[in-house]
Amino acid sequence: MTESAREPELMQKIVSLCKRRGFVFQSSEIYGGLKSAYDYGPMGVELKRNLMTEWWTFMVTSREDVVGMESSIIMHPDVWRASGHVGNFNDPLVDCLVCQERFRADKAPKVQMGAATPITLGDKARAKLAEDKVKALLAAPDATGQAVDSIKRDGMTILGTAAKEREYVCPNCGSPFLSKERNFNGMFRSSLGPTDPMAAVIEALRVGVAEGKNDEELRALADQVMNRSAVFLRPETAQGMFVQFQNVQQSLSIKVPFGIAQMGKSFRNEITVEHFIFRSCEFEQMEMEFFCEPGSGPKWLEYWKEQRRLWWEGLGLKKDKLRFRAHGQDELAHYSDGCFDVEYEFPWGFDELEGIASRTDYDLNAHMQGSKKKLHYFDPEADDPETGKKGWRYVPHVVEPAAGATRGVLAVLCDAYAEEFDEQGELSRVVLRLHPRLAPYKVAVLPLVKKDEQLVERARAITEQFLRAGIAAKYDEQHTIGKRYAKHDEIGTPYCLTIDAETLSDTTVTIRFRDDKRQERIPVQRAVEIVAEALRTGRL
């Protein structure tokens, strides 16, 4: 099965629209494509930028207590040692022994021990091979003792197996026959500077072999040597804000509580890249670290949870497709005193869009230990709870709303995608009901006939008028008017203005509303006001 054929039908349609209309392309497609990365085309880059600008405006420029910054993607490697990413950023990696799928154990479908686990392959031929494999696995000397003849095949499904102590199954075929879990560090490692770490690795391995070390020990040795000169691509933007906490605070003399926000690229060598741009190896994040007084984390967590809900809903995402899932005690990191995932109902089900966590003083403490620098804040007005005297020096606590920008683009696309059908049940149009501020173009200006120079000139002048008002407008004369409407419906352009002979005589135009296809004759000046109003209110 190809990657996209595994997706629900709706996702396949969205992926196809993204390519057809210039939103998202597979990276390096002419060389066979790179599964883990994507390129944003002319429509996609506008949509992504609009989404990120909305975030920046909401989180930074419309508030007095949050400031922005941009840290480098490559930071001192000790940042990642202190944060725990070098030692602990390990995903449990597993191989399915039936279909060979490699996946993350913590993301696999859960099953109860002993529950039936039907194994389903993409076609009968593969199912037959899988049946033989299952029987061979059950016949192996270290097998669990289940009888081989209890296995039956029904078309593409193998029946008769049950979940084992692992309590999860392969996300591809449902098999409970899995390799051991191995730790896999998701950070991309490189080396900085002109020295070649390979020479040192070879030397260390020579010594290791002479000492009779086994493969696992040799690997650890090589890793150790590589890490001496290694740098890492950041797997999150957050650490840049922790390590610059003091510079930001002191350069602005800003008082706690305050936040530092950053948007940008992050990189994770994901074991499973999935669902198009939902999980890729190169992606963009929008994160904010809100530094607050010790003890006030839970209060700010509630506050930011509400703010983030308002933001996602304000972009027009359907309320019943958004939910907040509180992390259970077993899911919480040991230092965290509360965490919510903002989940969106994607075509394959609810999945994470953003995490909002109260992280106590864990991060700043970790960097104090790692850097041996003090990252305290002194509040001259507050009473020190220990001494009762004025003036309190403390390590701020942190609440972090961490959202995916590229994942956000997918949520917005899924939410906006709609199909309409005529009375015969035939598909009549596909429309992206994007929030006007997110739409790549806010208005399309269409001369009815492209051969009529006067119409063309007038349409170009009207386009100019929008552009001068700072509104993204598209002059478009290709194809019939019906095809142009269809194209702009598919890229989510909220309004189309049609310029015809009447426009020349009385300066009125036909405005077509994307969502209900309503058409009205209005003065040109009114069109600029309508579009500007929609951008302000978000309503068409």
Distance, in Å, from the CA atom of 316 to the CA atom of 407, rounded to the nearest integer, reads 16
Longest Cα–Cα distance of the chain, Å, equals 93
For ligand ATP, the binding residue among 345, 352, 379, 452 (CB under 6 A) is: 352
**For residues 222 and 342, which CB has a smaller minimum distance to ligand ATP in the complex?**
342
**For residues 279 and 458, which CB has a smaller minimum distance to ligand ATP in the complex?**
279
Residue of 74, 108, 79, 80 lying closest to 92 (CA atoms): 108
Residue 138 C-beta: closest distance to ligand ATP, Å:
34
**For residues 38 and 394, which CB has a smaller minimum distance to ligand ATP in the complex?**
38
**For residues 51 and 130, which CB has a smaller minimum distance to ligand ATP in the complex?**
51
**For residues 221 and 277, which CB has a smaller minimum distance to ligand ATP in the complex?**
277
Please give the size of the binding site for ligand ATP, defined by CB under 6 A. 16
Of 168-176, 200-208, 279-287, 314-322, the window that binds ligand ATP (rule: CB under 6 A) is 279-287
Region of 290 on the Ramachandran plot (φ > 0 left; ψ -120 to 50 alpha; else beta): beta
Residue of 510, 529, 325, 540 lying closest to 416 (CA atoms): 540
Distance, in Å, from the CA atom of 111 to the CA atom of 176, rounded to the nearest integer, reads 9
Residue 303 C-beta: closest distance to ligand ATP, Å:
19
Distance, in Å, from the CA atom of 7 to the CA atom of 120, rounded to the nearest integer, reads 15
For ligand ATP, the binding residue among 83, 239, 285, 360 (CB under 6 A) is: 285
Residue of 152, 155, 161 lying closest to 126 (CA atoms): 155
| Three-state DSSP state, 407 | helix
Residue 438 C-beta: closest distance to ligand ATP, Å:
17
Give 305-345 as a DSSP string: HHHHHHHHHHTT--GGGEEEEEPPTTTS-TT-SEEEEEEEE
Q: What binding mask, one character per residue, do residues 258-277 give for ligand ATP by CB under 6 A, x or -?
A: ----------x-x-------
484 lines the binding site for ligand ATP (CB under 6 A): no
Residue 193 C-beta: closest distance to ligand ATP, Å:
28
Residue 230 C-beta: closest distance to ligand ATP, Å:
21
283 lines the binding site for ligand ATP (CB under 6 A): yes
List the strands of the sheet with 157-159, edge to edge.
119-120, 157-159, 152-154
Q: Which of residues 299-328 bind ligand ATP (CB under 6 A)?
A: none
Name residue, tokens 């020579």: 206
Q: Do the beta carbons of residue 161 and residue 147 sit within 8 Å? A: no
Residue 91 C-beta: closest distance to ligand ATP, Å:
8
Region of 115 on the Ramachandran plot (φ > 0 left; ψ -120 to 50 alpha; else beta): beta
Task: State the CB neighbour count (10 A cutoff) for residue 293.
Answer: 18
444: phi then psi, degrees, rounded to nearest 5 = -110, 135
**For residues 353 and 509, which CB has a smaller minimum distance to ligand ATP in the complex?**
353
**For residues 85 and 153, which CB has a smaller minimum distance to ligand ATP in the complex?**
85
Burial class from Cβ neighbours inside 10 Å (0-12, 13-18, 19+) for residue 206 reads exposed
For ligand ATP, the binding residue among 21, 234, 279, 512 (CB under 6 A) is: 279
Q: Which of residues 406-435 bind ligand ATP (CB under 6 A)?
A: 406-407
355 lines the binding site for ligand ATP (CB under 6 A): yes
Q: Which of residues 183-242 bind ligand ATP (CB under 6 A)?
A: 236
**For residues 134 and 353, which CB has a smaller minimum distance to ligand ATP in the complex?**
353
For ligand ATP, the binding residue among 131, 354, 361, 489 (CB under 6 A) is: 354
Instruction: Quote the Cα angle for 85-87-88, to 5°.
Output: 65
402 lines the binding site for ligand ATP (CB under 6 A): yes
289 lines the binding site for ligand ATP (CB under 6 A): no
Residue 42 C-beta: closest distance to ligand ATP, Å:
22
Of 152-160, 358-366, 402-410, 451-459, the window that binds ligand ATP (rule: CB under 6 A) is 402-410
Residue 316 C-beta: closest distance to ligand ATP, Å:
18
Distance, in Å, from the CA atom of 88 to the CA atom of 92, rounded to the nearest integer, reads 11
Of 82-90, 202-210, 296-304, 352-360, the window that binds ligand ATP (rule: CB under 6 A) is 352-360
Distance, in Å, from the CA atom of 50 to the CA atom of 438, rounded to the nearest integer, reads 5
> How many alpha carbons lie under 13 Å from residue 201 in its C-beta half-sphere?
16
Residue nearest to ligand ATP (CB): 404
Residue of 206, 364, 196 lying closest to 292 (CA atoms): 364
**For residues 47 and 254, which CB has a smaller minimum distance to ligand ATP in the complex?**
47
Q: Which of residues 119-158 bind ligand ATP (CB under 6 A)?
A: none
For ligand ATP, the binding residue among 174, 404, 436, 447 (CB under 6 A) is: 404
Q: Do the beta carbons of residue 129 and residue 309 sit within 8 Å? A: no
Of 113-121, 152-160, 168-176, 400-408, the window that binds ligand ATP (rule: CB under 6 A) is 400-408
Residues 6+ apart with CB under 8 A from 207: none
Distance, in Å, from the CA atom of 371 to the CA atom of 189, rounded to the nearest integer, reads 21
Distance, in Å, from the CA atom of 336 to the CA atom of 348, rounded to the nearest integer, reads 29
**For residues 77 and 404, which CB has a smaller minimum distance to ligand ATP in the complex?**
404
Residue 406 C-beta: closest distance to ligand ATP, Å:
5
Of 122-130, 241-249, 403-411, 491-499, the window that binds ligand ATP (rule: CB under 6 A) is 403-411
Give contact residues for ligand ATP (rule: CB under 6 A). Answer: 236, 268, 270, 279-280, 283, 285, 352-355, 402-404, 406-407
